[in-house]
Amino acid sequence: MDIGFIGLGHMGFPMAARLAAAGHHLFVYDTHDDAVTQAVTSGVHAASSPRDVADRVDTVLASLPSPQVSHDVATGSDGIIAGSKVKRFADLSTVGSPMAQRISKQLAEREISMLDCPVSGGVHGASNGTLAMMVSGPRPEFDTMCDILETLGRPIFVSEKPGAAQTMKLVNNMMAATALAATAEVVVMGVKAGLDAQVLIDVLNAGSGGTHASRDKFPRAVLPRTFDYGFATGLMVKDVRLYLDEAKSLGLPTDIADAVAALWEHTLNEEGPASDFTSVIKPIEEAAGVVVGGTSRSD
């Protein structure tokens, strides 16, 4: 099948590679020429713009870093909306419900259907085809694209309401952000009190305190001090901010989310947006004077 793919970043590149390996005929675009050049070596075809992609294929997917970039790629003057062949667009990015609704409405005016399809699972999931994929939009379009999406992971249809999958993704990522931050804080506390970091993780995972962070993120990226899980701090902060915006627009209390967001904003300031999100433990370690998985900085 001919497919367009826009956005060849940390998540987009392995997803596009999986589609190409599955035998699909891919036309790709990214603002970074080196990413496109690398993709072309694996047998895909380069396009000159989002519009060029949408002139060549009827199905376009995108994995993009921010709501504004998604909007520009979808509806800009040289965007997907201007393409002559495109019929459906699946946005794999996390953009928030209001932006997804806005893009969907604009594309519909040109008779282009949209699925908002944010994903969860990080670079590891993108590479292995194990992403959790939350999908909302017209059910017939989901049925049409299901085989494509199953190459990338497990698509779960949420609702026909535009933006519903975005809300689901923000709920998921707020939980992930909270679990990682809380796990980091309690493990630092245990190490400061003299407990071994590996023993702490083993006991958490054997008991009621285990989280996805303690079962996966800590063993893979924190304890070995690699901080390479594959999801940027800046992207997590973006998702937390989008969650707070939507929750507050619904008139909901956000006491816990506000506290978690403060820690993530501090991590962003200290470690930078490109740092791996497992670096959330570093400012907590700094304040405590210990290193989890390393040696103590103080008695």
Residue 85 is among the residues annotated as catalytic for this protein? no
Write the CATH number of the domain with boundaries 2-162: 3.40.50.720
| pLDDT 10s digits, 119-161 | 999 899 999 999 999 999 999 999 999 999 999 999 999 999 9
The rounded distance, in Å, linking the Cα atoms of 210 and 27 is 43
Task: pLDDT band for 67, please (50, 70, 90 cuts).
Answer: very high
CATH 3.40.50.720 positions along the chain are 2-162
What is the per-residue pLDDT across 154-191, written as a single tens digit (0 to 9) for each?
999 999 999 999 999 999 999 999 999 999 999 999 99
**Amino acid, res. 194:** G
Q: Which of 161, 169, 192, 248 is catalytic?
A: 169
* pLDDT one-digit tens code per residue, 246-296: 999 999 999 999 999 999 999 999 999 999 999 999 999 999 999 998 543
What stretch(es) of the chain map to CATH 1.10.1040.10? Answer: 167-288
pTM more than 0.75: yes
CA atoms of 88 and 144, how far apart (whole Å)? 10
Reduced to 3 states (helix: H, G, I; strand: E, B; else coil), residue 114 is strand
Contact 195, 183 (CB under 8 A): no
Distance CA(248)–CA(242), nearest Å, equals 10
CATH superfamily of the 167-288 domain: N-(1-d-carboxylethyl)-l-norvaline Dehydrogenase; domain 2 (1.10.1040.10)
